[in-house]
A and B are shown apart, each in its own frame.
Chain A
Amino acid sequence: MYLPLSTAKEIELDFDNEILYSICTLVTIKEEYQEMMSSFVEAGFDTSFCEFLYIDNTTHNKSEAYQGLNYFLQKAKGKYIILCHQDILICHDKIDRLEQCIADLDQLDPSWAIMANAGASGIKDIVYRLIEPNNVIKRRGHPIQKVTSVDENFILVKKSANLSLSNNLKGFHLYGTDLCIIANILGFNAYVVHFYLLHKSKGNVDTSFYILKNELQLKYQRALAGKYIQTTCTNFYLSSSNTLNALLNMKFTMFFVRNYISIKQKVNKTGNEIPKSEW
């Protein structure tokens, strides 16, 4: 007896998003958020093809940034997800400029997944396009530039890249850097583009920033540590060193490693082997 295949759904091969942009914001000041939203609509982000999503942190912090932005990344329906601060205004460049940046990036690098107006690619190699509250235009570097971190005031993410932020970091800082590291791990790239927006504040480098900076360093120090990987079919050593990998993945070395662990297992036998599988 077979079920009709109609009970299953064949996945469509192309993304067909009715919503083009999901604009996602953690809100602490309602009036400021409304002003930001209006500036988006006036810049061409029409509600017929854009959704505005927010987490209400006005009375207390229901979600810190890592958890909150992970909610947005899951629930947003747009082809592009914009994660932005409530204190920005899209009052200079409009949607056509942003779409031009997207088209340029599509041409330049189909593996792009993150776009921002500010970021950095290396030490002292900071690049940005922004307008300060006194209407002073600030620019540095030469976009389009590939970066390893982006500023959190305005981040555009491709929904199809299915990005996430770390589940083991908490707070309101450095999630732009974390997102770029995760994107890089998944094989995607981040860019700063030529898109001006007004950012009312300059960011807050306080004690919580330095705590989070240490936590991020420690997290990735552990995550990037060399390790043996065993699968049900093979095993190998992974580390940052080509030499060490080559040495520890040699048949000769693996023979001794496997034997050492087999002997150790026999001495401290914990699992019941019934019968030995031939994976």
Chain B
Amino acid sequence: MTGAKPIATRISNENLDCYKYSVCTLVTKLEEYEEMQLSFIAAGFDPIFTEFLYIDNSKSNEFDGFSGLNKFLIEAKGTYIILCHQDILLINDNLNVLESRMSALDLLDNKWAILSNAGASKIKHEVFTVTESDYVLRKKGIFPTQVKSVDESFILLKRNANLSLSSDLAGFHLYGTDICMIASMLGYNSYVIDFNILHKSKGKVDHHFIEIREKLILKYTHLFKGSYYQTTNTSFYISSLHWVNKLLNTRFVMFFVNSYYRKKQRKLKEIIK
């Protein structure tokens, strides 16, 4: 590509990431964050291959869970991005344990994109490994388990999955559920692994939580609604119901739908004229 060479850059799938891990945290208490960071380094996350990124929410909430974590997902340079609370400590399992769990998962399912120490696969199927502030290990389920939601205290993502959180949700709750939903839509899977972290708090289910829960349900209810899609080449109907899709995509139905909209377009044109 003689003429193109000086200004065009060829993209390849080589891994040229500057860091292996990006550890990203929304910080409200700087001392607690430093303690968390120290525990990561002691667990093997050497700053040579780990970048620690934070958003300073200590004076005011510059970013909420959704917008702040989206910012991290864009800026982080690590092959793996860890989104975690400032009130966790890695004092039990270390980086070697985490990497062995990741290697095992690579063999099991190369479409994994999200890992956590806690989550749930369906109603009453919570899975977790966590040490709470009373230093008692709490463990439930079989590991690894594929899940539909993860707890927000510790989430590890593959950067090359290029995940995002909803831009139309805001707050500090349920973003672990949202990111699993988005990952699933993009064709990736989420897992809970046996990785013991110390989490100092138990989470807060307050009126903000209830509000975000309602907004999340409303958002996805609206999204899940069936609709017709028109491209410049074709048109089709997509909904969650197989038989409705079959029926509305038959040539017979599409003929009437196309005729109806064609007439509607003509009328609109006449009105504009």
Contact = CB atoms under 8 A, between A and B. Distances in A.
Contacts of A2: 31, 34-35, 38
Interface residues of A, number: 115
Contacts of A234: 205, 209, 213
B176 interface: yes
Contacts of A99: none
B232 interface: yes
A232 B124 contact: no
Contacts of B12: 55, 62
A238 interface: yes
B144 interface: no
A140 to B, nearest CB: 10
A54 B11 contact: yes
Interface string B215-229: 001011101111111
A5 B58 CA distance: 14
A262 B62 CA distance: 42
A161 B166 CA distance: 10
Nearest to B68: A11
Interface in A198-240: 203, 205, 209, 213, 216-217, 219-221, 223-236, 238-240
A61 interface: no
Contacts of A257: 123
Contacts of B164: 161-164, 186
Interface in B227-262: 227-236, 238-242, 245, 249, 257-258, 260-262
Interface in A238-270: 238-242, 245, 249, 257-258, 261-262, 265, 270
Given A8-B53, A149-B230, A163-B164, A187 B140 contact: no
B167 A186 contact: yes
A274 B140 contact: yes
B233 A1 contact: no
Contacts of B224: 224-226, 238-240
A27 B146 CA distance: 38
Contacts of A265: 124-125
B96 interface: no
A7 to B, nearest CB: 6
Contact of B1 (A33, A41, A176): A33
A227 B235 contact: no
B186 interface: yes
B71 interface: yes
Given A230-B126, A278-B202, A184 B223 contact: yes
A231 B10 contact: no
Contacts of B53: 8-11
Contacts of A182: 185-186
B238 A224 contact: yes
A124 interface: yes
Interface in B112-140: 118-128, 130, 136, 138-140
A74 interface: yes
Interface in B10-45: 10-13, 24, 30-31, 33-35, 37-38, 41
B111 interface: yes
A64 interface: no
B225 A240 contact: yes
6 contacts: A53-B9, A71-B13, A124-B265, A168-B187, A185-B223, A232-B128
The 3 A-B pairs with the shortest beta carbon distances in the complex, nearest first, are A168-B187, A187-B168, A240-B224
